[in-house]
Amino acid sequence: MDLQNTFSSTSLSFLLEGFLVTLQVALFAILLSFIFGILLGVCRYTRVPLLSHLATAYIEIVRNLPLLLIIFFGYFGLREWGLKLPVTLSVIVSMTLFTSALVAEIVRSGLNSVDKGLVEASRSQGFTYIQTLRHIVLPLGLKRTIPPMVSQFISLIKDTSLAVVISLPEMTHNAQIIYNKHYNATIPMLILVALVYFIVNYSLSRASRRLEKKLIG
Amino acid sequence: MSFDISSLEAYKQDFIDGFLTTLSASLLALVLSLAIGTVIAVIRLSRVRLLEWIGTVYVEFFRNTPLVIQVFFFAMGLPSIGIDISEFTAGAIGLSIYTGAFIAEAIRGGIQSVPSGQMEASRSSGMTYVQAMRFVILPQAFKLVIPPLGNQFINLVKNSSVLAIIAGGDLMYAADIVSSQTFQINLTYIFVALLYLVITLPLSYGVNRLERHLAQTV
């Protein structure tokens, strides 16, 4: 085991660079899929025929495909169609396309969990459908989506490592470069990277559990 | 953008092999991760401090680290210390260990939703802890756990695409090979996407129906 090259300052600073790319890609993708996921989820919930059917088709197809396929599509596929995105942007696009579908399902089940009686009561008080959605269904329904959404975003952070296939210089990719050079450092390097992911994701999931208790309890 | 589906015909065997590899990796990993998940769930609920702790560490560590890293550990880490295993085996083990953590959580949730009076009743009628688990608690828990397990299996099929990264010969790997040889990139991707949907959509539909059915009966 080559611990010297695993913990050398060159290795660690190269890994840190990768970590920053991972964080950057993850943050943008989380923000975008949060927005698009809520829009898609609301479209599906509303039962406005065309909107809801389009949203359903998108959600059902995308969430049943491997993310890896979508990452390949976002890079090589779009290129074939003449859209040459820089690798970082293409990963953000792919991640967003994929995660929005999953966030949309979370949003839909959150909105569905709002008591139908409340919706009827609000309509009979003279609220329009849009007003009911905005003032009753969304605030109550979205609150319940926080914990599953956080686990979805934790998955997203982990899944940025799939972008290793198109050489996005994120943490896993940089680790790979290091251990390709120092073969005996492979295992300690992989464990070190796993621990970094673990610390980030475990802290997030703890924080979300605490938030959940506060919101419900 | 012209789609000429006949250009893929020469690669029929690649797609068939890939499809079968994806299926067999997913099924093998399903069996292994069910075994891992059940054991971990049971020891987490055992109230034996050390076992509980081991179970918790397993679940939290493996579900909070990327599958890619776990697969790399078996595909590249082990060979670096002289243990050579095939790409397929490395992928299947990685998938099983990762999915096992999620299945453990699903099963634990199922077990906990069986009223605690049942365990007390079984114990007081003379069953050991293991007997009570095996004959009373687990059979009931498994019923509640079927929908989340179905979802995990769908994830497993999708996640088996990591085999492509270590040249594991799965469907995504076939897509990679064929698209780089035909230069019909999107045509190949769309075709492969349809093949994935052939597996995942019926499963998704089944899980949804089952969930609705259980919501009415339980």
Q: For the segment B68-94, what is each residue's pLDDT rounded down to a tens digit? A: 999 999 999 999 999 999 999 999 999
Q: For residue B142, what pLDDT is reported?
A: 78
Axis-axis angle for helices A9-46, A186-216 (nearest 10): 40
The arithmetic mean of pLDDT across residues A85-93, rounded, is 97
Q: For residue B171, what pLDDT is reported?
A: 97
Q: Give CA–CA dist B60/B41, Å, rounded.
A: 12
Structure tokens belonging to residue A200: 């980030």
Q: Give CA–CA dist B168/A159, Å, rounded.
A: 19
Q: For residue B130, what pLDDT is reported?
A: 87
The arithmetic mean of pLDDT across residues A73-77, rounded, is 96
For residue A120, pLDDT over 60 is answered with yes
Q: Give CA–CA dist B202/B209, Å, rounded.
A: 11
Mutate to test the interface with B, among A112, A150, A162 (most CBs of B within 10 A): A162
Q: Say whether A61 and B80 touch across the interface (CB within 8 A).
A: no
B198 interaction partners in chain A (CB closer than 8 Å):
none
Q: Say whether A201 and B80 touch across the interface (CB within 8 A).
A: no
* Facing B186 at nearest CB: one of A64, A80, A164: A80
ipTM of the complex: 0.93
Q: Euclidean distance between the first and final Cα of chain B, in Å? A: 52
The residue that leads in pLDDT, B193 or A130, is B193
The residue that leads in pLDDT, A172 or A146, is A172
| Closest residue on chain B to A166 (Cα) | B165
Structure tokens belonging to residue A143: 């609150």
Q: Where residue A143 falls among pLDDT bands split at 50, 70, 90? A: confident
CA R_g for chain A:
21
Q: Model confidence over A32-73: pLDDT tens digits? A: 999 999 999 999 998 888 999 999 999 999 999 999 999 999
Q: Where residue A217 falls among pLDDT bands split at 50, 70, 90? A: low
Q: For residue B3, what pLDDT is reported?
A: 67
Q: How far is CA B155 from the centre of its chain?
A: 6
What does pLDDT average to over chain B? 93
Count of domains observed in chain A: 1
Give the CATH number for residue A135: 1.10.3720.10
Domains of chain B are 12-216 (1.10.3720.10)
Q: Model confidence over B130-189: pLDDT tens digits? A: 899 889 988 888 788 988 999 999 999 999 999 999 999 999 999 999 999 999 999 999
Is the CB of residue A203 less than 8 Å from the CB of residue A152? no
Q: For residue B217, what pLDDT is reported?
A: 66
Helix H or strand E encompassing B175: helix B171-182
For residue B2, pLDDT over 70 is answered with no
For residue B106, pLDDT over 70 is answered with yes
Q: Give CA–CA dist A13/A37, Å, rounded.
A: 35
**Whose structure tokens read 């995990």?**
B152
Mutate to test the interface with B, among A198, A205, A209 (most CBs of B within 10 A): A198
Q: Say whether A61 and B67 touch across the interface (CB within 8 A).
A: no
Q: Model confidence over B35-58: pLDDT tens digits? A: 999 999 999 988 899 999 999 999
| Closest residue on chain A to B60 (Cα) | A202
Question: Dihedral of the CA atoms A30, A32, A34, A40 (nearest 10)?
Answer: -140
Q: For residue A144, what pLDDT is reported?
A: 85
Q: Which domain holds residue A204?
A: 3-216
Q: Give CA–CA dist B149/B7, Å, rounded.
A: 39
Q: Give CA–CA dist B160/B102, Å, rounded.
A: 15
